[in-house]
Structure 1
Amino acid sequence: MREIGLIRWFGGYNLRTKKMNDFGFIRDNKGQDIYFNKGHVQCKLKELTPGIGITFERGVNFKNDREQAIRIKLLKDENDREIFYDFFNSKIFLELNLNDRSEILINIDENDVINTWSNYEEDLKIIFLYRLCADNKEFKLIEKINEENEFIRAMLLLYWGKINNCNNEIIIKKAFKLFKGFIEIKNRDLKIASLNNKYNKEKNKSFIIEFVKMCTQEAKESEELRKLLDMLRAQLLK
């Protein structure tokens, strides 16, 4: 039976043996740690960083007759929808990294995302909206969510325009005002996380600009769009 968990740590230099460790520990859904060896990993070892979501089975280490994790697979490689719900309803959900949490939200029902939206931090909302846009997935969020954060509201508005094929100058102008209000009037320091794997083509904060371009690719190039992109480049790529 497959279980869910996250990587607590893996590898690293061992001062006692003067070698690199070939083992690590997983935290299961009950908060307990379970040992695993690299021989039971079904992904690239460099991907086993703390906070990465995984699924595994339990087995026995025949050298010491102790329990260990086997057949370890990354969450992002799963296609069983029930697995995503197991993570969503688990104790370890908040310990997962942002990319894995956004992966979970992408793979569950829209209403479940909406009902828990107010619990999510700014960075998770930003990455999740980027993922929706990049994956061309339609969630009718803006019509059902009361979002106070102006930066997120701007992203929701642009995403709404994309999925409804109506990203015109009025929407772009409204998004500009919301982004500008957040960045300049509130003078907030944006803490936008980098994205991993296929979403990390540009470093740091530049994927926000890619989000805007994806949302407005069907719109005619206009002065309003140029103003929006120039403002974001100036503020996010310092």
Structure 2
Amino acid sequence: MARVDTGAKIRTKDEGGLLETVKVVVQALLIALVVRTLLFQPFNIPSGSLVPTLLVGDYLFVSKYSYGYSRHSMPFSPPLFSGRIWASEPQRGDIAVFKLPKDNSTDYIKRVIGLPGDKIQVVDGVLHINGKAVVRKRVEDYRTTDPYGRPVSVPQYDETLPNGVTHRVIERDGDHGYWDNTYVYTVPPGHFFMMGDNRDNSTDSRDESSVGFVPFENFVGRAEIIFFSIDENASAWRIWEWPWTVRWGRILDPIR
């Protein structure tokens, strides 16, 4: 039987396979983009400002939906709109990722301490909120390093915020570090006051020239869970070293 030439190009098996591969890759990238923008974004901890809660080498997921969405919820923060949609304000005690107000691009992670309208002050290392000292209880010392990298034991406390959230803080320089005595900060409307749990080794809202008050629009999301953790001086790509460099006990720890 004679075949009729319809003018259609017949795809070879290799061409069909390549096209399917490209489609799968594109779909996977789109799904990843949607998940990263709307649901969860991974971050890693490069500094010790939230020790003992978060350690250098922790990898965590941040929920993007917790506070609603702003332009900073999307990669590269495109100026598509201002403010937030489906907004839900951060709660005192949340650990949140935000864009540094100074440049609106650098990612910072700190704990929410002050809400709009609050008055925040530190007196001899003790946090005060709206004129009342926050309750803190001395617990066992924490092993860390001093500014020269030498191992030291430092005071550690359970600090309980006015809404009942309890978390640990350390005072590497005791109660007389650089930021352990401040004036009263009044948090403006639509802004939040952020601090690290490593109180003497945290650049946060106490330093108005570097961080200051954080606009609600700058929030990226709330830290939820540690999905991987590796020793500070180890490399994650050295898989063969994982048996002794991965902090197995921290994996899947919820962040509080």
TM-score > 0.5, shorter chain as reference:
no
Max radius of gyration: which structure? 2
More strand by share: 2
| Structure with more contact order per residue of length (Cα contacts < 8 Å, sep ≥ 6) | 2
TM-score, normalised to structure 1's length?
0.27
More helix by share: 1
TM-score, normalised to structure 2's length?
0.25
